[in-house]
Amino acid sequence: MTEIKICGLTRPEDVALACELGARWLGFNFAAESPRRVELPRAKELAAASAASSGAGRVGVFVRETFDEIRRAVEAASLDIVQIHRPLRAEDLDEIPRPVFAVVRVDAGAPLDLPPTPDLERCRAVLFDTAVPSMDGGSGRAFDWSLLQGRPWPVPFFVAGGLTPENVRMAVERLRPAGVDVASGVEASAGVKDPDRMRRFFRAVKEADAH
C-alpha cells in the first residue's frame, strides 16, 4: 500500500482528519521561510493531536536550521523522522538524532543530483520534489515523472511536487512509489487543509493501489 504523507500541517483539526483518513506520515514544517512554519509550542500541540492515531509518524521538515534547532524540534514534537530540504551531508546523518528523509530536487534539464550512495543507503527514504529556482520546496508544481520510471533506488522513494486529488492516482500507477507527499494540493490556503480535497486524495491513492 502506498504510504501517504500530509505535509505542512498547522492545525490540530487537520492533524486529526489526516489520522482518521489513514495518513502514514504527518509533516510539520520548521523551515524559517515557509508560510507553513510552526513554532515549537504549536508543534507540541500538533504532536499531541496525533497521539491517538494508529501508526502515523511525525516528520519534521527543515532547510537551513542548525543541529541544535533540529534537536529542539525533535524533542518538542516527538518527531520520528527528520526531512532535510538541502543537499544531504554525511554530517547530517551523524548529528541528527532520528532517521532521515533525504530530498532530491528534480530538474528536467539536469541529471538527478543524488547524495553519495553510502549516505543515501543510511536514509529511511528519499523524496523527489520539483526543482524551482529560489524555492526549497512547496512549489505546488509537478515534475516529469518519467525521469524516475524504471530506475532502481537503494531505499524506498516518495514522490512530491504538485500532487493533487486529480493527478495522484496517475502518479501512483506510473511510478509505484513507497509513498506520496502532499501539502498545497489538499489546501484551502497555505497551512489550512481542505477536508474534501484531503478525502478525495486518500480515495484516489486507494483506487490506484487497487488497480
Supply φ then ψ for residue 132, to 5 degrees: -130, 125
Q: What is the mean pLDDT of residues 60-83?
A: 96
CB contact burial 121-158 (16+ within 10 A = b; e otherwise) = ebbbbbbbbbbbeeebbbbbebbebeebeeeeeeeebb
The pTM of the full predicted model, rounded to 2 decimals, is 0.94
pLDDT in tens, 11-61: 999 999 999 999 999 999 999 889 999 999 999 999 999 977 667 999 999
Tell me the Cα Rg of the chain: 16
Query: DSSP states of 58-83 as a string?
Result: EEEEESS--HHHHHHHHHHTT-SEEE
Classify residue 178 by its DSSP letter. Answer: S
Query: What contacts 111, CB < 8 A, 6 or more positions away?
Result: none
Give the integer Cα–Cα distance in Å for 86 and 166.
29
pLDDT in tens, 176-198: 999 999 999 999 999 999 999 99
Give the integer Cα–Cα distance in Å for 94 and 120.
13
Do 22 and 2 touch, CB atoms closer than 8 A? no
Identify the CATH assignment for 3-210 out of 3.90.550.10, 3.40.50.2020, 3.20.20.70, 1.20.1440.230.
Answer: 3.20.20.70
Give 6's strand partners.
26, 182
Give the integer Cα–Cα distance in Å for 209 and 211.
6
> By CB neighbour count within 10 A (0-12 exposed, 13-18 middle, 19+ buried), where does 80 fall?
middle
pLDDT in tens, 134-170: 555 555 688 889 989 888 999 999 999 999 999 999 9
For the chain, what are the domain ranges? Answer: 3-210
Neighbours of 112 (CB within 10 A): 14
- Report the 3 state secondary structure along 139-168: CCCCCCHHHCCCCCCCCCEEECCCCCCCCH
pLDDT in tens, 84-98: 998 999 999 999 999
Neighbours of 94 (CB within 10 A): 9
